[in-house]
């Protein structure tokens, strides 16, 4: 079955430091891949998405992610973290099937930013 795995439940970084959030996927074919951010008590905001083409994807708020087929990974990165980036981050995969697209979320990574 398709799945998305986020190995890190919590990550703490200092403001200004670089950030990498890990995401691995397991699908029969290359899925569409997404990163979302969720602030407490809020819905999800799309940071970036990968459908095909260039494996390095630029998103909003200075985030980027790199699709690596050989590693089945789609890690999220940011060169310099800001305190406002503290939130929950979800990686998600979507596979087109005859029954329609279905988005599967990872378990999320809680990011804390130390000032």
Partner 1 sequence: GAVVSQHPSRVICKSGTSVKIECRSLDFQATTMFWYRQFPKQSLMLMATSNEGSKATYEQGVEKDKFLINHASLTLSTLTVTSAHPEDSSFYICSARGSYNSPLHFGNGTRLTVT
Residues lying near partner 1 in the complex (CB under 8 A) are found at 32, 34, 36, 41-46, 49, 51, 90, 96, 99-108, 110
Shortest distance in whole angstroms from residue 45 CB to partner 1: 7
- Residue (38 or 72) nearer to partner 1, CB: 38
Return the closest-CA partner of residue 22 out of 81, 83, 65, 86.
65
- Residue (55 or 97) nearer to partner 1, CB: 97
Provide the token pair at 115: 């000032």
For residue 51, CA distances in Å to 12, 14, 93 come to 30, 32, 10
- Residue (54 or 115) nearer to partner 1, CB: 54
Provide the token pair at 23: 């995401």
Shortest distance in whole angstroms from residue 24 CB to partner 1: 15
Shortest distance in whole angstroms from residue 102 CB to partner 1: 7
Chain mean position to CA 6 = 8
Shortest distance in whole angstroms from residue 103 CB to partner 1: 6
- Residue (17 or 60) nearer to partner 1, CB: 60
- What span, in angstroms and rounded, lies between the C-alpha atoms of 90 and 21? 10
- What span, in angstroms and rounded, lies between the C-alpha atoms of 63 and 56? 11
């Amino acid at each position: 079955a398709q799945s998305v795995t986020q190995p890190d439940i919590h990550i703490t970084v200092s403001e200004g430091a670089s950030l990498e959030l890990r995401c691995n996927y397991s699908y029969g074919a290359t899925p569409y891949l997404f990163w979302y951010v969720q602030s407490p008590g809020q819905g999800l905001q799309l940071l970036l998405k990968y459908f095909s083409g260039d494996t390095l994807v630029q998103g909003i708020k200075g985030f980027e992610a790199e699709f690596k087929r050989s590693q089945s990974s789609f890690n999220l990165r940011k060169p310099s973290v800001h305190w406002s980036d503290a939130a929950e981050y979800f990686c998600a995969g979507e596979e087109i099937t005859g029954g329609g697209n279905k988005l599967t979320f990872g378990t999320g990574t809680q990011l804390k930013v130390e000032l």
